[in-house]
Amino acid sequence: MKAVLVAAVVSLVVALFGTPMFIKVLVRRGYGQFIRDDGPTSHHTKRGTPTMGGAVIVAATITAYGMAHLAFWTAPSWSGVLVLFLMAGLGLVGFLDDYIKISKQRSLGLRSKQKLFGQGLVGVVFAILALQFPNDSGRTPASTKISFVRDTNLDLAFAGTIVGVLLFILFANVIIAGTSNGVNLTDGLDGLATGASVMTFAAYVLIGIWQFNQNCQTNAGIKCYEVRDPLDLAIVAAAAMGACFGFLWWNGSPAKIFMGDTGSLALGGLLAGLAIVTRTEFLVVILGGLFVTITLSVIIQVASFKSTGKRVFRMAPLQHHFELLGWQEVTIVIRFWIIAGLFVAFGLGLFYAEWVVGAA
């Protein structure tokens, strides 16, 4: 349990003090955000603000994870390493996208097909490896069973192992694409995605600790959890939470730096990885309810415009709709944080209620 605290503190310190140093590097190189002309006019003042700050979040998370294990001389788990690989891999895709935007001074970085290919490539590698590396009890980081708060009886391997693996790879990539793009769409206002991510990763700290205390390997019971490395996943989540906290100090309004696609894709990827290996694949839809809501606003807007030629919102994603209604940016961010917190509380309530009802 102490390793969880060490990871959170180390990542907080690294992000808090590393971000301003990274800002100086970006300013010297002229790596500033390019603001699209069709966005809210209030955003034009943000042109030139350093971006790619997500690199600090990724570095702080990985550093803190390593330091937590080094402090107590413990070995990293395959589950922890895999979700960090997913975070770093998608962060690299986002970095390439950000770098193209900056170097070419345009709002378009990687084309949508290129970005999806990069996300898919990293996702496929993650999904394949997640079904490998069984521990002494034969448990792999992920399973082919569909999960909500735990694995259900619905197994993707119903037609055989090979079919199950292929379906799992597809299913995992849907989750990865959904969460990474969801966080990416949410990252439109100062501190919005960062603050919401803090709450979501905090939820996974609690989930990991609870699953560790009620794990089938050490505490066999009716409602024990078949998760391979729950405590190590709590360490990863704590490291990400601390990194986001530290980054939020500089990312809050008015932002001194943006996380860019480097950060949003990385955080979304880590969220997906945690959901898959903690066997909470559908619970993440609730825990990350704000990201889902904002993504749905874009889907609704596009579907409505293509089918009827009319827009449901003044602008999508949803946060920009409220900007055009006259809401102040800080007001939107705080209210959306409240919504994110309510989703997280509801998701944790469902997670705990399922265990209480089953154990009664």
* Inter-residue long-range contacts of 66-69, CB under 8 Å, 24+ positions, other chains counted: 67/6, 67/7, 67/10, 68/3, 68/4, 68/6, 68/7, 68/10, 68/235, 68/239, 69/3, 69/235
From CA 188, how far away is CA 333, in angstroms rounded? 10
> What would the mean pLDDT of 202-219 be, rounded to a whole number?
93
Q: Indicate the domain borders of the chain.
A: 2-141+155-359
List CB contacts of 8: < 8 A, sequence separation 6 or more.
Answer: 64, 205, 238, 239, 241, 242
Tens of pLDDT, residues 242-293: 999 999 999 998 999 999 999 999 999 999 999 999 999 999 999 999 999 9
37 is known to lie in a ligand binding site: no
Confidence of residue 136 (pLDDT cuts 50, 70, 90): confident
Confidence of residue 49 (pLDDT cuts 50, 70, 90): confident
261 is known to lie in a ligand binding site: yes
Number of CB atoms found within 10 A of residue 261's CB: 30
Calculate the average pLDDT of the chain: 92
**Which residue in the block uniquely carries the two structure tokens 């989540």?**
237
pLDDT at position 333 over 50: yes
